[in-house]
Amino acid sequence: MKKRVLFVCTHNSARSQMAEGYLNTRYGDRYQAFSAGTAPGTLNPHAIRAMAEIGIDISGHRSKDLGEFDEQEMDLLVAVCEGGLCPFFPWAKEEIHQEFPDPSRLTGTDEEIMAGVRRIRDEITGWIDATFGGV
């Protein structure tokens, strides 16, 4: 049986979406990933492009409110937000707080923003490989 993992950040627009897409694509034989936000926004187009560059299509994803997962048991909740309070989610067996920078705070030209999103993507995928890859 696959372990269920819920990635959570504030807007569910980039970090948690990239993590969901990567875990499902790379380790979908062992894990089923979901993502949600405490204040969902709009899917970040830079995150879509950054993931497409590594062969993962998240363009069909949508931002979801954490409440959509009420009473759905998860093996692991991973909060990927920076600082602040982590969401309370009583249906998770285990919780991890792993901070990643917020792509929505990046400024500059399109290429400068994309460079930042790529760095964040690579941090997230590297962490997932180290955390879930050897299990």
State pLDDT tens for residues 93-115: 999 999 999 999 999 999 999 99
Active-site position among 5, 6, 8, 9: 9
Question: Which residue blocks in 28-94 are alpha helix, DSSP H?
Answer: 45-52
86 assigned to active site: yes
Active-site position among 81, 106, 113, 117: 81
Residue 93 and residue 5: Cα distance in Å, rounded? Answer: 10
Specify the DSSP element, H or E, that contains 7: strand 3-9
> Which CATH architecture fits 3-132?
3-Layer(aba) Sandwich (3.40)
Q: Which two tokens stand for residue 4?
A: 């269920």
9 assigned to active site: yes
pLDDT by 10s per residue, the chain, length 135: 999 999 999 899 999 999 999 999 999 999 999 999 988 999 999 999 999 999 999 999 999 999 999 999 999 999 998 765 566 678 889 999 999 999 999 999 999 999 999 999 999 999 999 999 975
15 assigned to active site: no
pTM of the predicted protein model: 0.94
